[in-house]
Structure formats: C-alpha cells, structure tokens
Structure 1
C-alpha cells in the first residue's frame, strides 16, 4: 500500500532507529527501581495513571516513577527510542510506524490504559438536534496527520458520509498542544478536544460538546504503555510491578466516585477546577474510555489498523503477537 510519510514523525523515528541502536537495552535510571515514564499529553483521559502515582500504587510496588509530558506522538516516540524514557504512554499506532521502519529494537505494547478515542467534537455554536452531516462545508481545526485523534476523526466522519479532505475546510497547521488555544482565539466552526478542555470550553461558553469520537469509533487500544523490546526482556520484574500498579489504579477509578477521582488527580491539573475534572472523569467513564484491564484486546488491535488504513497511514499490516506482549497483563489480572 502506498502511504505518505508524515511530517516529523517518520523523520525522527528513522533518525533514532539509526543512531540509537547501539544503546538498545540500556536503562538510564539510577537504580533498578526507578522508571522514567513519558506521556504523550496531559489529560483527564489518563486518570488511572495519575491515580497510580497519587494513591501510592507505584510506591507500593517499590517503583519510583518519574513522569514527563512530551507533547505529541512523534516527540514521545523519539524520547523512548533515544532512551530518554523507559516506558512511553502513547498511541499504539506509533509502534506500528516504528516497526514499519524496520527497527532493530521495536517498541512493544504491554498494557493498555484507554480503550476508546478520547476526543469530543466541539462546535462554536450550539446545535439542538445535531447530526454529523451538519459538518459538511464547515471549517474544522484538525489534528496532526498520522496521529490517532486525526485518524479516528476521519474514520468517524467517513462512516457518516463526510470526506474530511473534500467536504471540510480542514486546518491541520496547528501544533498538538496549541489546538485548544487556537480554537478559542480563532474562527473555525469545529474542533476535536480532549478533556478537560472540552468541559472547560462549555463552562466558558467558547464552544459546545456535540458528539464523542470515542463512542462513534468503538473499542480500540487508543493509549497504551510500550517499551523497547530489549527493555522488556531485561526488566521483567519492573514491568510486571508497573503493570500491576496500573491495573490496581484502573479498578480504583471504576470503583470510586468521580469526585473522589478528581480529588486524587487534581494535583496534575493545577489550573482546572475540581468540579470540571469530576465532570470530565464522569464523561470518560460513562463512555467506557478507561480500560478496566491492562490486557490489550486483539480485536481492538486490528480495528486500529483498519482505522489507520482508512486514513492512508498504515505502512503494513502487523500481527497482534508481533507488537503486543500480553504476559504482564495476564500475570496481574
């Protein structure tokens, strides 16, 4: 299949596959109990991860987890490949991109955190009887080409008979972390937003949540934990402990009230009101975004590739067993 090499993602991946191969398997933590964790963005979408930190679940496993936000799939994968992180929380599609570049030490998915898309359709105007077909001819502030938000967005729109590149005035020229502010100060009709930005925009009357891309697209391993194959092989005990702590946090998030979850994770969202966080948690939990198990589903893996292929971004089909390691999740369940 012919596909386009997108933006900086493939250039950075190719560079670090070439220059960092000799570093494969190196653990730059100061002790065996330290984990350097890179997250692709900061979002209530990742509530179980923050719970694992704030409630001491990592600590209970003897792990010292240092969290860094690396803003965007390309930056996050580059950080992982160059040994700037031991584990990355990022879209599973990035592991397929790396594999497509014939990586000597590929990124292996070992636990999922979320199992739906985490973005919501936000419109500048309120629509009492909104239908997806209303987007035709409108201006849309899109996400980065080749990233999961954009690919899932395109998949959903096509399912509703809209060609995002033909039927929309699509703007993809804004960096991932600047999309909310660009919409707030711009004049596009629609945008895809994660929480808590979507709820905040409603509260500030900047926009209105009209639909959920997660509900429309179904279950997919949207955000997962991955490490280089060499790190998994050499740090079996650490990865099991990490996965156990995440599983415990997943259960905790589903058992507690949204208010209690918000209380637990508010330290990660200094500028967000606790009630807004609670509403965001409730919205994600109601639509099944928070995975209840770290075990990455095989059907979801192939739906992911269907979505990528639909967007013209799938370099090659990759079997489930090639890039998914289920052993750690199965041990802790």
Structure 2
C-alpha cells in the first residue's frame, strides 16, 4: 500500500493530479467521518477509490464506512442532523432542504454528464429520435432521471402519444426487451453493459445530449463549512485526487469497482467503468459547473419535481473546488 501511495504521489508531482495540500510525511491525528450515499452505485466510484486507495488518509481523513441511506433526502438529512459529515446525491436535494429551512451546500462534483443510455435489439433500426415512433420504451419509475430524460426526448421529437412508455422498477428495464415484450430499454450502468453482453446495442446516449449535467454531488452542511472549513477542503481535495487517478489509471478504478460490486461480472464492471470514464460521467475535477447545475435543475423543472427557481449561488459553494483544482 505504501508503494502505491508513493507512486500516486509521484504522479501528482508530475502534474497528473493536482492538489493544493502537500503530503504530510509525519503521522497526524485523523479526522474520522461518515459519508452517507443515496444508494450504493458505480456512479459514486470516486468516493470508493478515495477510500480504497488511501487518498482520504493522505489528507488525514479516516472513512470507516460509506453508508447507503436509501435516498438522497435521507442521506442529506443525516448530514443536516449532524450524524454524518458528507452526503452523495443530486444537488436538487440541497435545494429542497433549503426550502424546508435546511442549510446544506453542494461542494464537489462526483458524477457528471447524464449517465443514461437507451438499448435495443440488434434488428431495430434507429438513426434519430424520430425512430421511436410506434415503439414500446421500457424505463424506470418516475421521477427518476432516466424517466425524465426519455420523456423530454419524446416531447422534443414531437412524438407524444406515438410512443408507448412502460415504467418498471429501476434495475429491471432489460427484462421486457430481452424477452421481446418491449423494444427499447432506457437504463443506467451496470445494466447497460449487462444488456450489451446479452446481445443488445446502444442506440442513444444521453451523455452525448448532456455532457455537462450535475447528476450527483458531494454535499455538506453550512455548519460544517463554517466550523471546519479545513476538513471540508481536505475532503474535496481527496475527491479531486481520486478523479485524477481514475482518469490516469483506469485499471485502479476498475479494481476498486470490482471489489465494491463483487456480485457483478468483472467484465461488466470493467466495461461500465470504462464507458463512464470516456463519457465524462466521472469528471476530471471537482468543479460543479454552472452549465451542469443548470441542466440538472432544468430537467427537474421539466418533469415538475421543482416548481420554483433554484440558483447556483444559493445551492453550490464552489470555494473549495476552486482551491482544489488550482
């Protein structure tokens, strides 16, 4: 492990990963923290890489466990209650909490781009969204992002009423298509690679439509920012280094993903991680861009999940990410 840390530090020194906090040779007291994630997901791989590869430790942070809360609101509620220090979910939940008097902030990108793909059998011809006409599209339940994205694509193509939309439990989108009861499945990873391994093909990548999309962010409380900004900065720096490592050494990222998701085929995991790297789902740094934030919020407004305005400066504190990427 020490050898791996030394190698990574050499990479950072060569400019392959940038950090504003130098490596401390002498042992220091660790800040032990708890991270609450909405659910256990390949989308949150930068957090797992930072934990497995000792990057958090390099910044004097100990993360005994990353706990799955079951939803974004539950993960953020744990942070606002002081039970955990950081949460991982969409930035819109910070806005919802603020409307209820909560004081959360999104501080770091972790899953960017719109990580949703549409798959179909090889014999289905598809060259543009117009080819959805007359098709049955299987998608996860509303108000999930995959559901929202396909509905917007159908509306923008002028196909409302011409496409049959069948909603199923998230994660079970492939079944009807593989059995011939549906034409197209709209889903996330690793279901995308599982579908490809069973003969389906990608016909539409929403990552191409929305290369900047704040799908998931690292979030914390205003109290944490005010009372322990040094810890917040060290945490954001660790995520920034993790993202850099994912892009400079995909084999490390895939090995961590295989360990975290041991119930999945290793080949499926590797393919899913590689596709998400190539499609900027794992961004190259921690900046939450205004374009990414706006795209995510506008999509929630489109489907009616957000009825009021949400503004970047109210929800995002980019002061830590700006320091991390310098």
Match of 2:215 in 1: 222
Decide whether the 8 Å contact of 1:43 with 1:196 is kept in 2.
Answer: no
Match of 1:254 in 2: 247
Match of 1:8 in 2: none
Decide whether the 8 Å contact of 1:142 with 1:170 is kept in 2.
Answer: yes
Could you list the runs of 5+ residues in structure 2 that have no partner in the other structure? 1-28
Change (3 A) 1:97 1:177: farther
Could you tell me which of 217, 220, 228 is aligned with 1:235? 228
Change (3 A) 1:254 1:32: closer
Match of 1:91 in 2: 90
Decide whether the 8 Å contact of 2:287 with 2:318 is kept in 1.
Answer: yes
Aligned residue pair count? 296
Q: CA shift at 1:223, angstroms?
A: 0.9
User: 2: distance between equivalents of 1:292 and 1:77?
Assistant: 25
Structure 1 residue matching 2:270: 3-state secondary structure: helix
TM-score after normalising by structure 1 = 0.78
Q: CA shift at 1:251, angstroms?
A: 0.6
Larger Rg: 2
Change (3 A) 1:73 1:128: same
Matched, 1:293 2:285: yes
Match of 2:21 in 1: none
Could you list the runs of 5+ residues in structure 1 that have no partner in the other structure? 1-30
Change (3 A) 1:34 1:213: same
Decide whether the 8 Å contact of 2:136 with 2:165 is kept in 1.
Answer: yes
Match of 1:330 in 2: 322
Could you tell me which of 156, 166, 169 is aligned with 2:164? 169
Decide whether the 8 Å contact of 1:54 with 1:265 is kept in 2.
Answer: no
User: 2: distance between equivalents of 1:78 and 1:116?
Assistant: 25
Structure 2 residue matching 1:294: 3-state secondary structure: coil
User: 2: distance between equivalents of 1:139 and 1:306?
Assistant: 26
Where does 1:1-150 land on structure 2 (aligned, <5 Å)?
A: 33-65=31-63, 66-99=65-98, 102-124=99-121, 126-150=123-147
User: 2: distance between equivalents of 1:223 and 1:82?
Assistant: 21
User: 1: distance between equivalents of 2:78 and 2:247?
Assistant: 31
Deviations 1:83-119, CA, capped at 9 Å, x for gaps = 55321111122222333xx222232110011220111
Match of 1:270 in 2: 262
Q: CA shift at 1:292, angstroms?
A: 1.2
Q: CA shift at 1:121, angstroms?
A: 0.9
User: 2: distance between equivalents of 1:216 and 1:131?
Assistant: 12
Q: CA RMSD in A?
A: 2.7
Decide whether the 8 Å contact of 2:38 with 2:88 is kept in 1.
Answer: yes
Change (3 A) 1:192 1:252: same
Match of 1:28 in 2: none
Change (3 A) 1:104 1:218: same
User: 2: distance between equivalents of 1:189 and 1:77?
Assistant: 37
Change (3 A) 1:126 1:172: same
Could you tell me which of 187, 193, 205 is aligned with 2:187? 193
Q: CA shift at 1:277, angstroms?
A: 2.2
Decide whether the 8 Å contact of 1:52 with 1:58 is kept in 2.
Answer: yes
Deviations 1:5-28, CA, capped at 9 Å, x for gaps = xxxxxxxxxxxxxxxxxxxxxxxx
Change (3 A) 1:265 1:218: closer
Decide whether the 8 Å contact of 1:142 with 1:192 is kept in 2.
Answer: yes
Q: CA shift at 1:41, angstroms?
A: 3.1
Change (3 A) 1:183 1:239: farther
